[in-house]
């Protein structure tokens, strides 16, 4: 299993309406065929600790059955639509891919 976690820092000038569009774009990624499950959210208001980073705007979490399925997702046209549509809104993006044991 591969867990694909993406953290987004968005441009400051985006409106609440832009954030709603971004969330719709995130949801659309769940329908890509190789995605087993998906979720997204905003940074939690947990207490500050030296190891905690809560300054991102959104995180996306997708699960794939295999590295091959993940790789297919990366070149899926619907993934390209998301990147092309919202890429200009990204101040920073960080991706963490983890291959987990069963």
Mean pLDDT for 42-57 is: 94
Which residue pairs from 39-46 have beta carbons closer than 8 angstroms and sit at least 24 positions apart in sequence?
none
**Cα atoms in the Cβ-side hemisphere of radius 13 Å centred on 38:** 20
> pLDDT tens, 5-20?
999 999 999 999 999 9
Quick one: pLDDT at residue 101? 85
pLDDT for position 102: 67
Q: What is the mean pLDDT of residues 67-90?
A: 97
Q: How far apart are CA 72 and CA 78, in angstroms?
A: 11
Res 52 pLDDT > 80: yes
- Phi-psi bin for 29: left (phi > 0), alpha (psi -120 to 50), beta? alpha
Contact assessment for residue 96 and residue 5, using Cβ atoms and an 8 Å cutoff: yes
Domains recognised in the chain with CATH numbers? 2-43+55-97 (3.30.70.100)
């Amino acid at each position: 299993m591969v867990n694909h976690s993406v953290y987004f820092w968005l441009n400051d000038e985006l409106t609440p309406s832009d954030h709603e569009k971004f969330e719709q774009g995130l949801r659309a990624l769940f329908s890509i065929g190789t995605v087993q499950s998906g979720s997204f959210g905003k940074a939690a208001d947990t207490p500050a600790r030296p190891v905690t980073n809560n300054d991102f705007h959104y995180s996306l979490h997708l699960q794939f059955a295999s590295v091959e399925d993940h790789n297919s997702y990366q070149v899926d046209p619907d993934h390209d639509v998301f990147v092309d549509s919202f890429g200009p809104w990204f101040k920073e993006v960080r991706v963490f891919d983890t291959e987990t044991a069963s």
